[in-house]
Amino acid sequence: MENIKLGFYRAISQKSKVVEVLRQSKKHVWFKHTSGRFKYPKERFKRDFIKENMREISRIDRVLHLLELFWKAHPDFRLGQIISFVSNMTCNNNDAFYMEDDILELELKRWVNTKALSDIMDTIKKTSKNSSS
């Protein structure tokens, strides 16, 4: 039977229930939840907690860290401006609602590592002029 990665999982049926897998054997998984520690049959755990195409939870920390670096370097930007600008630069439909987190992460990484504020401001000015025309 395949191993389950240690880490955090969200219940498929109860979106608010998040557990942390602590260890496993061939047949069981031990996990921690706010109400205690539990031993679960591995097959049942897979059925109740593992969604094959679930987004990676660790992406949240990566994106927030990049956002923090950029925002602290440029505190005059408002959060909405940063998200809107990334969306305008990367999404075909210019709608942040449809932008995937990996796109946001890549663009923030690019800004943090290579872009000077003046370059970004020039691009924002060009983008706002085009959208107002």
Q: What is the pLDDT of residues 19-34, one digit of tens each?
A: 788 888 888 888 887 7
Bigger pLDDT: 94 vs 5: 5
Q: What mean pLDDT do residues 103-125 have? A: 73
- ∠ Cα 16 20 23 (to 5°): 150
Name the nearest CA neighbour of 115 among 126, 106, 102, 128: 106
pLDDT over 70 (residue 51): no
CATH code of the domain covering residue 77: 1.10.1580
User: Domain for residue 30, yes or no?
Assistant: yes
User: Domain for residue 115, yes or no?
Assistant: yes
Per-residue pLDDT, 125: 65
pLDDT over 60 (residue 53): no
pLDDT over 70 (residue 85): yes
User: Please, which pLDDT band fits residue 65 given cuts at 50, 70 and 90?
Assistant: very high
The answer on 110 and 68 residing in a single domain is yes
Q: Which two tokens stand for residue 61?
A: 């920390």
Average pLDDT, the chain: 77
The answer on 72 and 116 residing in a single domain is yes
Rounded to an integer, what distance in angstroms lies between the CA atom of residue 45 and that of residue 4? 9
The answer on 115 and 77 residing in a single domain is yes
Identify whether the C-beta of residue 113 lies closer than 8 Å to the C-beta of residue 71. no
User: Domain for residue 1, yes or no?
Assistant: no
- ∠ Cα 105 106 112 (to 5°): 85
Per-residue pLDDT, 132: 59
pLDDT over 70 (residue 52): no
pTM of the model: 0.50
Per-residue pLDDT, 79: 92
* Burial of residue 61 (number of CB atoms within 10 Å: 0-12, 13-18, 19+): exposed
Q: Which domain holds residue 26?
A: 7-49
Bigger pLDDT: 76 vs 88: 76
The answer on 62 and 127 residing in a single domain is yes
The answer on 72 and 34 residing in a single domain is no
